[in-house]
Structure 1
């Protein structure tokens, strides 16, 4: 766990001014990181399914995937967040009423993961589609000629090359997704932004806690950039040598 005092001293800030909100801020960081990671998994899963559907010659799959990416990318994230959250809650309320079940309220964390995953799945769909189209067609033909099945072709031929082409866009989408987690504060989840706002209102020092939240986000994005660079080196292994 990050030591709050050490972190603040590194940036020249005073730990005493936290006024007891240090543990809550760290918990907000943990919620934000967990929300981002789970939303990323949902987005990538939807992105792979969406890209497969977009590349399908069948309109039964291609048309819904095209509508999905067009609508989601054309509506602001904040509007989608509110629309999906309150729509899900409304449908659940109608269902419980119709089935004579006790009232159930959607957990804000689950709602945040589902909503962010659904929104950014549209962006990942286009990222994966473009990456797959960048793979030379002869690669899959050669894999088929060697007798590889559909799953073997994807795992051994398509996926490694797809990731190499997709990583720059994936990294950008991940950073945008990470910052978009701040939107979940509007549905009541105690993420980093929500905790910083509550602390600022209670201490009448809003600027201090917002700057601190910004620094914490910067710390997370910096660590993410390092991981992304490592992944790029991993998936580009041997490419430069062969290009020479």
Structure 2
């Protein structure tokens, strides 16, 4: 019985990992784009990202997920109907979970990346422009490579929070590790045992992530001196 329930939960753990990694990709992409918008000279883009951050911080993650899952596909299908398109979109639990988490944590990654961009010495950007680089080349060749070192601590923290927030997808019926742990607890009448097992699996994710990301951080900090000197 123990082996059967353990395998059941491990299959949910694989789903949790998929959700976490795909959400991380979306959140990183949104965060980078919005960070560049937030630091641009265009006032409209800066205001857009400010409103985006305020909305995300003001609405609970669970509420956003429920709104997207239950109301998102209705809104999209109504829009498609308004465009006289015969197609209908169905948003399943997996897609809703990934999109919602990516959208939510994109705002937090944006703040991390924005701070990292501002930490890059402005003289280097001015030097790139003086050499005739376009804004795109300045971002790709100067800003983005150097911001990594400044962004890694915040990136690590956001990833750890995101990986734990995947537990929210269980409320929309997706059979992740939490959903299956509750099933195993109900079936075996040992809820604490299986929830503890799920907690250990989450701890495994965070422990491995911390180890790997700290190694990356040390690599990007090679040759960097901290503190002031006379």
The two structures have a TM-score, normalised by structure 2, of 0.90
The residue that corresponds to 1:80 in the other structure is: 64
Q: Matches of 2:122 and 2:206 in 1, distance apart?
A: 35
CA–CA distance in structure 2, aligned partners of residues 136 and 100 of structure 1: 50
Alignment of 1:192-211 (within 5 A): 192-211=177-196
Specify the alignment match of 2:149 in structure 1: 164
Residue 178 (structure 1) aligned with residue 169 (structure 2): no
1:34-83 CA distance string (max 9 Å, x none)? 11111011001111111112122222212111100011012211111112
1:23 Cα offset (Å)? 2.2
Give me the CA root mean square deviation. 2.3
1:189 matches 2:174: yes
Distance 1:241 1:128, change over 3 A: closer
Matched residue SS, 2:41: coil
Larger CA deviation: 176-185 vs 126-135 = 126-135
Is residue 131 of structure 1 aligned with residue 137 of structure 2? no
Q: CA deviation at 1:243?
A: 7.7
Tell whether the 8 Å contact from 1:43 to 1:120 is kept in structure 2 after alignment. Answer: yes
Indicate if the aligned counterparts of 1:160 and 1:235 stay in contact, CA closer than 8 A: no
Q: Distance in 2 between matches of 1:50 and 1:71?
A: 14
* Structure 2 SS opposite 1:121: helix
Secondary structure of 2:163's match?
helix
Structure 1 partner of 2:24: 40
State the secondary structure of the residue aligned to 1:227: helix
CA deviation map 1:90-117 (0-9, x unaligned): 2245457776858653121111110000
Alignment match, 1:222? 207
Instruction: Compare 47-56 and 113-122 and name the one that shifted more.
Output: 47-56
Q: Would the alpha carbon gap of residues 101 and 67 (structure 1) be closer, same or farther in structure 2, given more than 3 Å must change?
A: same
- Point out the more displaced range, 44-53 or 85-94: 85-94
Contact 2:65 2:96 in 1 (8 A): no
Whole-Å Cα distance in 2 between the matches of residues 33 and 225 of structure 1? 15
Which one scores higher on RCO, CA 8 angstroms, separation ≥ 6? Answer: 2
Q: TM-score, normalised by structure 1?
A: 0.85
Matches of 1:145 and 1:100 in 2, distance apart? 50
1:61 aligns with 2:30: no
Gaps of 5+ in 1: 1-15
Query: Are residue 31 (structure 1) and residue 11 (structure 2) matched?
Result: no
Deviation of 1:242 after TM superposition, in Å, equals 11
